[in-house]
Amino acid sequence: MNVLIVFAHPEPKSFNGALFDTAAATLTAAGHTVVSSDLYRMDFDPRTSRANFLEQKDPDYFKPQVEERHATETHGFAPALEAEIGKVEAADLVIFQFPLWWFGLPAILKGWVDRVFAMGRAYGSGRIYEHGPFRGKRALLSLTTGGFQSSYVSGGEEGDILGILRPIHRGIFQFTGFSVLAPAIHYGPVRVEERRRRQWLDEWSQRLRTIESEQPIDVGPYA
């Protein structure tokens, strides 16, 4: 399998960093081809702007989707952005590794999606959901929280975690054609002992060794 890991944490020595390193090492050892986008290390610019494109279809009024469609037709994405789109197109499995920030993706990763999942390449002209360009690919969220698992349930203070993740699972991945694997969620790593965190890393590694045969999940209703 070709695997793309998109990593969004400002500190490489964080627990997210350890989960990222574990995934890259395990999948490589299992014979998969792993590429990554370490967004902070790349100093990835999350802002959608005219810099996404080599030329402008409409220099007077910037409408991102119009320019994305034009760039799709003219091979007109800026090289650094084209490289990121190419990584997704080449991947059989895409993993997002991130801490849950404000119930969602860190801005740098949200901005990566805004720019990379471009109209024309990732969706458009009726090519959405089961007809999306990324059908046949699978996606997996690997995230950490600050809060306890007991509060991320239906009726809990935070609510059902699958409801919180639904905008990503449904609105980003399934919208563009991906199948969604069960998220890997490590709740409150700062609240547990070192030994437990090391155990989590071992369990994550074990799961990844057989990830190729995992079946997609139903992403569920809104919270």
Name which of 76, 52, 54 is nearest 64 in CA terms. Answer: 52
Among 36, 71, 81, 99, binds ligand FAD (CB under 6 A): 99
144 lines the binding site for ligand FAD (CB under 6 A) = yes
Task: Please report, as a single letter, which amino acid is at residue 7.
Answer: F
Q: Counting contacts by CB under 6 A, is residue 97 touching ligand FAD?
A: no
Q: Show contacts with ligand FAD in window 20-59 (CB under 6 A).
A: none
Write the DSSP symbol of residue 142: E
Q: Which of 5, 8, 18, 161 binds ligand FAD (CB under 6 A)?
A: 18
152 or 178, CB closer to ligand FAD?
A: 152
With CB under 6 A as the contact rule, which of the stretches 10-18, 41-49, 70-78, 85-93 interacts with ligand FAD? 10-18
- Among the listed ranges 24-32, 109-117, 144-152, 170-178, the one in contact with ligand FAD (CB under 6 A) is 144-152
Residue of 31, 60, 102, 125 interacting with ligand FAD (CB under 6 A)? 102
Q: Which stretch binds ligand FAD (CB under 6 A): 14-22, 37-45, 133-141, 212-220?
A: 14-22
Which amino acid, 94? V
User: x/- contact string, 187-206, with ligand FAD (CB under 6 A)?
Assistant: --xx---x--xx--x-----
Residue with smaller CB distance to ligand FAD, 60 or 194: 194
Q: What is the CA radius of gyration of the chain?
A: 18
**Would you say 142 and 204 are in contact if contact means Cβ atoms under 8 Å apart?**
yes
Residue 107's CB: how many other CB atoms inside 10 A? 14
Task: Determine the residue type at 114.
Answer: D
80: tokens are 């650094």
The tokens for 209 are 């060794």
Total residues contacting ligand FAD (rule CB under 6 A)?
Answer: 21
Three-class SS state of 169: helix
Residues β-bridged to residue 140: 95
Give 150's DSSP letter. Answer: G
Q: Does 179 bind ligand FAD (CB under 6 A)?
A: no
CA atoms within 13 A on the CB side of 18: 15
Q: Enumerate binding residues for ligand FAD (CB under 6 A).
A: 9, 11, 14-16, 18, 99-103, 144-147, 189-190, 194, 197-198, 201
